[in-house]
Structure 1
Amino acid sequence: MGDSAASRNQIHSNPVFDVSVVQGGSKFFDDDGRPKRTGNVMTASAHIITAVIGSGVLSLAWAIAQLGWIAGPAVMIMFSLVTYYTSSLLIACYRDPVTGKRSSTYSAAVRSHLDGLKFKVLEIVQYLNLFGIAIGYTITACISMVAIKRNGCLHKSGGQKACQINSNPYMIAFGISEIILSQIPNFDKLWWLSTVAAVMSFTYSGIGLCLGIAKVAENGIIKGTITGVSIGSSVTPAEKIWRTFQALGDIAFAYSFAIVLIEIEDTVKSPPSETKTMMAATKISLTVTSLFYILCGCFGYAAFGDLAPGNLLTSKGFYNPYWLIDIANAAIVFHLVGAYQVFSQPIYAFVEKKAAKNFPDSKFITKDIKIPIPCFKPYNLNLFRLVWRTLFVIVTTVMSMIFPFFNGVVGLLGAVGYWPMTIYFPVEMYIAQKKIPKWSTRWLCLQILSLSVLVIALLAAVGSIAGVVHDLKIYKPFKSSS
């Protein structure tokens, strides 16, 4: 971000510089004076896959187990189609409908299309959700690191030891790595991290899928029922209802990537138009990830039936071959290291832009210190960025240590974030941009879609909160081991 700000300042402060060249675009700058974008279908797809395939894939077998063989896959397909449709609406709202100006963030797109009140609501919802996602990813990465340690312990003891592992040191280690990576200035410079993370996501998803297929072959039968987990001694009627609702939240979380879609679109070069490139990238990414999701979820349920674990690779899921499970969990950690940064960038950018706007004369906020790096360009160290981003990571790490509940947190994040960011605001922006008449057939269809998903989100939130409350009864913050 320091590089971009410095470049713009140089442009506007140099009287010899021909501003018309900037406005028309040049070798180094786009038509708005910002540094030239370099993204394409491949890099955008990598960003999206990194954002989509995350910790959510690990809970899909459990989610399908709560819903059953008919409702489970049907709900996943429904979420996939709805997400693709509303993502296409959001992508079309990248530029201001009047001026054609680019929107560098989701909130900027909302501001250019909707009134001030909706924009303020959007900011609150977006940044709270991004904050929650950072916590969720810290929890998931920690669970995978603990699983690697536990697998080694169980293997050495031949399964004789309980192998209780304190998860707090692993959360702290993850936090330290994120503090370092958080100093990457902006989204456009994250392409390499997203590419690595996308490869890692395919790695552990592929391993989970293969282990599910192998387990089904070993069992010789396909487990599970049409209606999902049966009510009986282990599950009461009330728990069945809460779990069903929570499963909807888990699936919604797996598709919650619209929150960073505009930021990804802002990395794409033009021509061709950003909309064309992003539509292609979104189609590729959602097709690939949806196929993975359905296969992983279904084979996980077929392998374990009603006993499908909340986390396929860690909690009473697959144990052998232990070395392959370790590779999968290591891939999860590497993936979430990158995904954490992808989802945190909008928060970083928002706070830093606000600070620079409110305190333009503060050297602590605006000044970059050039640090020479052998064989590379000098790194621009910004002290405010260093301090603020470090504090952000520390807070998310501490919150993760207080609420380390995988399924409950994932379901709640999906319930809270999916409807407003993926459905409501894209629909409202599209209606405003296209000037769709109120009470017209198209307007009614879009509103029915939005209200239907809102009902699902509210049910998912209720179920997830019930799950977290249940977990809190038996958990002691900072003391429990995994």
Structure 2
Amino acid sequence: MHWFVTGVFVVGELAGGGLVALPTAITQSGFVIGIITLLIMTGIFTYTAYILGQCWIILQRNWPEYRVHCRKPYAEISYRAIGRKFKILVSVCINITQFGISVVFLLLASKNICDFIKAFFNHDISFCWVIVAVAVALFPMLILKSPEEFWWAGIIAMCTTSCAVILICIGSIRDYHTCSQGREFPQFKISNYFVALGTILFAYGGHPVFPTIQHDMKKPHHFTRSAIQAYTILTFMYLPASILGSLTYGDSLRDSVINSLQTQWIQSAVNIFITLHVIFTLIIMFNPMNQEVEEMLGVPQEFGIWRIVSRGGVLAAAVLIAETVPKFGPMLNLVGASTMTLTSAFFPAVFYLYLTAREVKAEQKSGYPDKNLIDETPSYRDIIKYNSKLTLVLCATVIVIGLVGGGGATYSAISELINTNPELPCYIRPFFPDKVGKHEGAAAIASHTNCCGMWQNISRSTDIKCNEPFDFYNQGLFKNA
């Protein structure tokens, strides 16, 4: 792939699921603090995308076997940086991350389809069965080998997201006069901030796929251009939608801004575009995980029955988790805060420090990248000696922010998942029909629109049926509701 196409492909892989939750994250963290956090994370994740790309270039430059097809480029980066034991840890984190993202996107696509059917056909279809239907429709595209065979998925995903951004902005502007008069922002809580940080981390993370995409480029050393292009486009997508959504709807926002849009055709169109984005992104996200499983099981690289069986098993496992925890928002926050922070911030910084020290040490000692010296794992002293001061400062900053921010966000996300109105797993609901639909959740929405204002009862038209008020930000409201 050309570097420009690769940049578009990366945007298609990143934007979408995080986009619809970002206005909520900005509101949840405090408007000004949220915008500043968003901009800081833009810089951090652009830098880690760049250094991760440089790690792969170092591998290809010093180990010729990586210039041909490689199933697990990210894991190989960790192996050459630190060693075999760390490779296993990284592989586990990558698989959990990709698996978690896939579950979140399955939930989001299914939720959007349910809302669309509810809005246009006034029919409440079972959310649990929609998850299965989405998985079945998706499976034929999951058996493609690698990104070079489905580069078009990234292009389509970016186009659909761009259309969704424009419509979210138009819908927010149309609702602004009505909703901003009753808009309130929740009181700042550190727990809410870390939950919001998990959403922001999810919106920018996606690095485990980057080496796989880079490996399929015509000129892998041009990935820096692709990364800068991708995160620049993401910033122009995320900022307008986040600012307008937060300023218009305030604390009436819930998991997704889509349900707050009060123009029905705009809400439905955004639902369609985001759902298409998510489906095409799932093709990209499942691929590294599928290749990891095939490597462990010894599945041939050529297409055959065992590829179908292994990839079908991975998809079935994702469906099972989605049916077990059918809540889009908390799952998104948990994935973004935990393993995604490790794979998109912490690991790239650590690997870059190690690989740069290896290469520079070998060149300075022998005048060229000596194979024996390259294979030596550098000491902590070597890392400090053979990396520039700027690189050390930047990577250390990323590591600290990743550990502190990711740790706090993970704790808050787990607390939210446990303490806020747990949903019954789909396969248990038939045995407890009286407990289904009694609280907020992806599977139990009475309407398809969250009305605005502090009391969530303001709408632009009397034709709009509002969802029941819900204390999403834990402000102590609606206790008697």
**TM-score, normalization: structure 1?**
0.78
User: 1:93·1:433 contact (CA, 8 Å) conserved in 2?
Assistant: yes
| Counterpart residue type for residue 39 of structure 2 | I
> In structure 2, how many angstroms separate the alpha carbons of the residues matched to 1:41 and 1:452?
30
1:416-435 aligned within 5 A: 416-435=338-357
What is the total number of aligned residue pairs between the two structures? Answer: 398
Change (3 A) 1:456 1:172: same
Report the counterpart of residue 341 of structure 1 in structure 2.
Answer: 283
Q: Deviations over 1:271-326 (max 9, x none)?
A: xxx22x21111111111111211111111111111222221113xx1132x22322
The reply to whether residue 214 of structure 1 matches residue 136 of structure 2 is no
Hey, what's the Cα distance between the residues in 2 that align with 1:102 and 1:201?
A: 33
Seen in structure 2, the aligned counterparts of structure 1 residues 474 and 344 have a Cα distance that, compared at 3 Å, is closer
Amino acid at match of 1:176: V
Partner of 1:390: 312
1:123 aligns to 2:91 (yes or no): yes
Q: Contact 1:405–1:471 at 8 Å: present in 2 too? A: no
User: Given that residues 178 and 393 in structure 1 are in contact (C-alpha distance below 8 angstroms), is that contact kept between their aligned partners in structure 2?
Assistant: no
Q: Cα distance, 1:185 vs. partner?
A: 2.1
**Structure 2 unmatched ranges of 5 or more:** 361-381, 430-435, 437-442, 445-481
Residues 1:220 and 1:126: Cα distance change in structure 2 (over 3 Å): closer
Identity %: 16
Aligned residue for 1:244? 193
The alpha carbon displacement at 1:222 in A equals 9.7
For the 8 Å contact 1:222–1:303, the answer to whether it is kept is: no
Which deviations, in whole Å up to 9, do the C-alpha atoms of 1:15-67 show, x marking residues without a partner? xxxxxxxxxxxxxxxxxxxxxxxx00232022201111021111111111111
Alpha-carbon deviations, 1:74-122, whole Å to 9, x = none? 0000100000111111111113153355374211222222222221110
The question of 1:108 aligning with 2:54 is answered no
CA distance in 1: counterparts of 2:193 and 2:413, whole angstroms: 10
The change in CA–CA distance for 1:289 and 1:448 in structure 2 (over 3 A counts) is closer
Structure-2 separation of matches of 1:463 and 1:284: 32
2:324 touches 2:424 (CA, 8 Å); kept in 1? Answer: no
| TM-score, normalization by structure 2 | 0.78
Aligned match of 1:23: none
Cα deviation per residue 1:193-224 (whole Å; 9 max; x = unaligned)? Answer: 22112211112222112211222245566955
1:301 lines up with 2:246 in the alignment: yes
Aligned residue number for residue 453 of structure 1: 402
User: 1-side partners of 2:266 and 2:12: how far apart?
Assistant: 22
Contact 2:38 2:200 in 1 (8 A): yes
Matches within 5 A, 1:30-429: 39-95=1-57, 96=59, 98-102=62-66, 104=70, 105-154=73-122, 164-219=124-179, 223=183, 228-230=185-187, 240-270=189-219, 274-275=220-221, 277-314=222-259, 317-320=260-263, 322-356=264-298, 365-366=299-300, 381-429=303-351
Pairwise CA distance, 1:472? 5.2
Please give the alpha-carbon distance, in whole angstroms, between the structure 1 residues aligned to 2:41 and 2:212. 22
Runs of 5+ consecutive residues of structure 1 not aligned to the other structure: 1-38, 155-162, 232-239, 357-364, 369-380
Residue type of the partner of 1:399? I
RMSD: 2.2
Deviation per residue, 1:237-278 (Å, 9 max, x gap) = xxx3332211000000000111111011011003xxx22x21
**CA drift at 1:136:** 0.7
